[in-house]
Structure 1
Amino acid sequence: MLRSLFHQQLDEVANHIQELGSATLAQLDLAIASFANQDAASVAAIIDNDKNINKNELDLNERVFDIIARQQPVASDLRKLIVVMKIAGDLERVADLAVDLAKVSKRLVPYQGEARQELSLLATDARNMVAKALIAYKNQDVMAAQQLAKLDDEIDERFGLFIKHLFRQDVGEPDVEMITQLAFIARYVERIADYATNLSEWIIYEANGQHFDLN
């Protein structure tokens, strides 16, 4: 009876991860749209939503602490609970990056360069990495988690090329600030992809108890 309750609690916190993940993806979608469509009005909503994500992460951690205290799990069950907290923390940081991206996008509303479309595509691909990591976690799919490392390498390469091209442009003084802000956004996007890779590392750790650095 107690064991059945414990596994029910494990399933519940895993489901909460999916809910937190969905909220984080929604934040990324809003942030990318605010940049791609030059929509400064959505920034306030993104910042407000972040408060809920922060609270949900804290609530989830408290739930895990309570389960550990009451059930005293060992071995693989303890790993599952540790991974829940680690993934929740990484998702919260991704949501923070969505806020940062949106804030910088607000300053870029006047910018009309081609880099906006290229950066939007890069951001969408990083966002999709997070989505794939969440699916791999739900399905306990270690192979799918491992494949995210290759996608991260591709994002890193595109990020590097984007930055090189950005700073090689012959720009006037008024455009220097715009280029700097675009570089900030590119860095935020690259970090989002890194966190997606972190998620895959936790999936692998939950499965076999070994931590691999996929970044």
Structure 2
Amino acid sequence: MQTRRFFDEELNQLKKEVEELAEDTKQVLRKAVNALYDSDLEAAQTIIDSDNIYNSKEQHINESALVMIAKQQPVASDLRRLIVAIKISTDLERMADHGKNIAKATLHLGENHPISIHPSIKDMMNSALEMVDTAINAYHLEDVSFARLLAEKDDKVDKLYGQVTKDLLELTADNPDQIQNIMQTAYISRYIERFADHITNIGESILYLIKGVSYDLND
């Protein structure tokens, strides 16, 4: 009984660390997009320099889960919790990488670039942040309904991405001398779209955790 209580405490701690990493990714994306709109190169560089923090957190979660698997030989439901913690932390680390990539693009644009940042990039960010909140709730509560909402929310990000891409292509045609700067903003919108895709992956992992079978939320 005491062994089981200790194992449950370890599982809860692991879950808490995954949720904290998810909150971290929100901050990375928010700070990266704010640095973009503000042309804040110092803030962008700070985001890039902080990337190892999230790599280390992912590694710690993965190593903790693997040690628990090796030592406890968990039953099926507990094993799913450990596997899902590893899968989610991997997606979260990649989401942080996309935030870092936005910061890199901001540095490429520089402080005095002549183009106006598309307003829907901020809309994409806000939608992606809402997705993270939904995913955290789904994971914390192990709630199928929250997890299934992620596909619908991802569609909204995809539509915004399509509109931004269309507008930027038109802008390129009218401003061929600014093609490099315009392409950097196109990359940024793509990074946010990929950020959201990883949240959909997290939703699929949560459904696997709850149901014990694999789901594709993009179907």
Task: Write out aligned runs for 1:66-85 (5 A).
Answer: 66-85=67-86
Q: Counterpart of 1:205?
A: 208
Structure 1 vs Structure 2 CA RMSD: 1.4
Aligned-partner Cα distance in 2 for 1:207–1:112: 50
Distance in 2 of aligned mates of 1:115 and 1:212? 36
Find the counterpart in structure 2 of residue 191 from structure 1. Answer: 194
Counterpart for residue 132 of structure 2 = 130
Q: 1:116 aligns with which of 118, 133, 147?
A: 118
The percent identity for this pair of structures is 36
The answer to whether the Cα contact below 8 Å between 1:101 and 1:185 also exists between their aligned partners in 2 is yes
Instruction: Please list, as runs of the form range in 1=range in 2, the aligned pairs for 1:88-127 lying within 5 A after superposition.
Output: 88-108=89-109, 109-127=111-129
TM norm structure 1: 0.94
| Mapped partners of 1:18, 1:96: distance in 2 | 17
Give the CA deviation at 1:14.
Answer: 0.3
Q: Unaligned regions of 5+ residues in structure 1, if any?
A: none
Distance 1:210 1:9 in 2: 24
- Contact 2:115/2:182 (8 A) holds in 1: no
Deviations 1:161-206 (A, max 9, x none): 2211211233233211111111101110100110111111111110
The count of aligned residue pairs is 215
- Structure 1's consecutive aligned runs of 4 or more residues displaced over 6 angstroms after TM superposition are none
Q: TM-score, normalised to structure 2's length?
A: 0.93
Within 5 Å, which residues of 2 pair with 1:29-178? 29-108=30-109, 109-169=111-171, 170-178=173-181
Give the unaligned 5+ runs of structure 2: none
- Three-state SS of the structure 1 residue aligned to 2:50 is helix
